Structure 1
Amino acid sequence: MANDLECRELVKSYGPFLAVAGVSLAVPKGSFFSILGPSGCGKTSLMRMIAGFAEPTSGEILIGGRSMHGVPPNRRPANMVFQHLALFPMMNVADNIGYGLRRRGMARAEITRRVGAVLERIGLPDAAGKRIDQLSGGQKQRVAIARCMVLEPTVLLLDEPLGALDLKLREHMKVELKQLQHQFGTTFVYITHDQSEALVMSDQVAVMNRGRFEQVGTPEDLYYRPTTPFVAGFVGDSHRWGGRVTGRSGDSLRVETETGLVLEAAAAQPLAEGDKVAVFVRPEAIEVRAAGAPAGDGPALNVFGGTLESLLFNGANSRAIIRLARGDLVAAALPQTPANARLGEGAAVELRFAAAATLAFSADREAP
């Protein structure tokens, strides 16, 4: 499959500060690609180089197979939706959407036809004459996207466009953005610090940290098969233990944590006895039972006793905070089942989680 966007060893430095440190990526035609990372990781600098607002220190950008070296932003086959949308309040919806076409000198009749067609596709066929301040937040988002899509870009760049919306609207717009991308068939490149946005909408996600990509893969790969401790800790919720490898138990590593727990864990990378490690397990991988409940059959398990210190109600899956005998506080997902309904704060419980769900990484690879 052809790539609509390629970046080859992109570097962006500001004096001694390296904002982007040799990033390469390839975004297939018609896909939804997200760049996910914390504030200051370099994702905005990368997006600005792709858009043409910043010149790379070194490296190459290709859009639609064509080098963008020396090509100004308004000549690139890419458009950008900003976090604050930048809609013109003095223009109505149709004039906002048709602004770029007028700048290109297109005939009025063709502008009217294109604007009408794109309004149909975004589900706002009767909004052409409305003022911007008459629109809801979600409708403004769609108009901002339509203003870009009417120009038929090869790549649409989205710079945290949901950041200013309230939580409920943001959840709705995640689904709607994915549907719009599928409907238009245009390649979307989306930057965000919100992991749920990236996981829900994307075909592929690049996790960025300190100017570099830690891992690029499907949302499922990043969540279930992280390749670095940063990805394991940043994507989704995880409990982390620091420790050291003390040996092997069958296919698993034996790890002694800094608090003295002995865990069985799967090695996410080659590790040897004596190595310092970071061990991660996700709350939903931890089963909480009343102390003394039958063990049952299953894979190799880590089993620890503790006290249910607090219950945080969260609908179908509440969160249980358990204090282990050695003082560790561990969070676990607690489904609303009849057995779990009998557990209350102060109850003696057991935590059980499989060795295969307990991932060990070299602690030397963790970010400082």
Structure 2
Amino acid sequence: MTSPTPDLVCSDLTKNFDTFRAVDHVSFEVPQGSFFSILGPSGCGKTTLLRMIAGFQSPTSGDLLIKGKSMIGVPPNKRPVSMVFQHLALFPTMNIGDNVGFGLRQRGVGRSEIARRVDDILARVGLPGVAGRRVDQLSGGQKQRVAIARCMVLEPDVLLLDEPLGALDLKLREHMKVELKSLQVEFNTTFVYITHDQSEALVMSDNIAVMNHGRFEQIGPPHEVYHNPDTAFVAGFVGAANKIAATVASANGAMLTLRTNAGAEMKVVAANSGLKTGERAQVFLRPEAIGLSVSVEGLGPDENISRGIVTSVLFNGANSSVTVEDASGHPVSVALPQTGGFAELRPGSEVYTHWNPKRARLYPAAED
């Protein structure tokens, strides 16, 4: 049963370094037993925020509560949190059992109790019987699980993870996404995970906070953040998107007609954009929202349709990434399923791109 008190609450949290504000009035809650990711580019403030939660840095202002208790002024070793670092920080001179039991020894737990708890936690992370092995005898994924076991044996209320998959190769990262989510569910422990990799956040998280310049631009479930981004930054950072500069030519209720800088016309349904005729806009359109056709026959009358020339076709497994140059010379990226009937598509092919006006997202143009 979910606790009525969130495991973690940050209220108006701010961190200044001299005149630079790294974290700018951030507020959020993380329910017990959930996977919460903080996603953003390098330098956006996410690591500073995580270090404040861990107690390694003190906030300039605001409050931070774990299990309803303020952590302001509480040192790291007195907080009910543990942290997994990007480079894991396992001790190479200790065997696996001693690495996992290190925190328990620091707390004065007896030797037999440490042995019991270490064996139990290693079994729970899928590594039974490895306590006597050396760190260099384990694979990268096994080391990740040892680092998590070393934290979880302390039974923290919140586990903090600082880009723990960043040093792994691509195939192992994909595997560890599933592993981490499974471990989080197994332990029913609150995970706070920071990353600059949107695929990690989308796959594992119950909720994602997208951070930019020290602020949260949006918090929500992965599906909501991906399909209904609140800002142009979120639309461009989370997932791939075609970005098109345009000007509002006319508005008919929620249906806006826009004209691109090259003079092409398109329609977008954007009920809450706040844009008026004559204002500049940014249109974001996911590659998977665009269809391809060899003719206009059968295409809906309300769709945006443009003739173009294929300039590249890149096979990447389940999909092909197709680039089409439209009549204005603008490149358009299309994610094309292999089952789409375009097996013979080649550079130079003439095609029509088409997309529903409801599939795009519209925002005011960025200030110059």
TM range (shorter): over 0.9
- Contact kept, 8 Å, 1:247 with 1:254, in 2: the verdict is yes
Structure 1 unpaired stretches of 5+? none
SS at structure 2 position matched to 1:46: helix
Q: Which amino acid aligns with 2:279?
A: D
Superposition map of 1:228-307 within 5 A: 228-249=231-252, 251-267=254-270, 269-290=273-294, 292-297=295-300, 300-307=302-309
Which residue is equivalent to 2:310? Answer: 308
Q: Would you say 1:341 and 2:350 are equivalent positions?
A: no
Alpha-carbon deviations, 1:332-353, whole Å to 9, x = none?
0112236311322111100001
User: 2-side partners of 1:207 and 1:119: how far apart?
Assistant: 33
- Contact kept, 8 Å, 1:249 with 1:264, in 2: the verdict is no
Q: Would you say 1:77 and 2:80 are equivalent positions?
A: yes
Which residue is equivalent to 1:40? Answer: 43
> 1:167: Cα distance to partner?
0.2
The worse-fitting range, judged by mean Cα deviation, of 249-258 and 46-55 is: 249-258
Q: Would you say 1:156 and 2:140 are equivalent positions?
A: no
SS at structure 2 position matched to 1:128: coil
Q: Which amino acid aligns with 1:77?
A: P
Alpha-carbon deviations, 1:119-175, whole Å to 9, x = none?
110011111100000000000000000000000000000000000000000000000
User: 2-side partners of 1:53 and 1:209: how far apart?
Assistant: 22
SS at structure 2 position matched to 1:230: helix
Q: Would you say 1:211 and 2:209 are equivalent positions?
A: no
2:139 counterpart (92, 112, 136)? 136
The worse-fitting range, judged by mean Cα deviation, of 328-337 and 247-256 is: 247-256
Alignment root-mean-square deviation, CA: 1.3
Q: Would you say 1:192 and 2:209 are equivalent positions?
A: no
SS at structure 2 position matched to 1:3: coil
Alpha-carbon deviations, 1:283-305, whole Å to 9, x = none?
00000111x2422447x211000
Alpha-carbon deviations, 1:266-298, whole Å to 9, x = none?
2253222222211000000000111x2422447
> 1:250: Cα distance to partner?
5.8
Number of corresponding residues: 364
Structure 2 unpaired stretches of 5+? none
- Contact kept, 8 Å, 1:264 with 1:358, in 2: the verdict is no
Superposition map of 1:158-173 within 5 A: 158-173=161-176
User: 2-side partners of 1:295 and 1:254: how far apart?
Assistant: 23
Alpha-carbon deviations, 1:90-120, whole Å to 9, x = none?
1111100000000000111111111111011
User: 2-side partners of 1:316 and 1:148: how far apart?
Assistant: 37
SS at structure 1 position matched to 2:36: strand
SS at structure 2 position matched to 1:340: coil
User: 1-side partners of 2:114 and 2:269: how far apart?
Assistant: 59
- Contact kept, 8 Å, 2:251 with 2:276, in 1: the verdict is no
SS at structure 1 position matched to 2:9: strand
Alpha-carbon deviations, 1:55-81, whole Å to 9, x = none?
101011101111001100011000100
- Contact kept, 8 Å, 1:227 with 1:269, in 2: the verdict is no
> 1:244: Cα distance to partner?
1.4
User: 2-side partners of 1:34 and 1:337: how far apart?
Assistant: 34
- Contact kept, 8 Å, 1:308 with 1:348, in 2: the verdict is yes
SS at structure 2 position matched to 1:25: strand
- Contact kept, 8 Å, 1:78 with 1:157, in 2: the verdict is yes
Which residue is equivalent to 2:128? Answer: 125
Q: Would you say 1:105 and 2:118 are equivalent positions?
A: no
- Contact kept, 8 Å, 1:20 with 1:42, in 2: the verdict is yes
Alpha-carbon deviations, 1:295-332, whole Å to 9, x = none?
2447x211000001111111221011101111101110
- Contact kept, 8 Å, 1:289 with 1:340, in 2: the verdict is no
1:317 counterpart (316, 319, 338)? 319
Q: Which amino acid aligns with 2:170?
A: L
- Runs of 4+ deviating beyond 3 Å: none
Identity fraction in percent: 58
User: 1-side partners of 2:275 and 2:253: how far apart?
Assistant: 15
Structure 1-normalised TM-score?
0.96
Q: Which amino acid aligns with 1:266?
A: V
- Contact kept, 8 Å, 2:119 with 2:129, in 1: the verdict is no
Which residue is equivalent to 1:363? Answer: 365
Q: Which amino acid aligns with 2:94?
A: M
- Contact kept, 8 Å, 2:290 with 2:354, in 1: the verdict is yes
Structure 2-normalised TM-score?
0.96
Q: Which amino acid aligns with 1:275?
A: E
Q: Which amino acid aligns with 1:169?
A: L
Superposition map of 1:56-67 within 5 A: 56-67=59-70
Q: Which amino acid aligns with 1:233?
A: G
2:19 counterpart (8, 16, 20)? 16
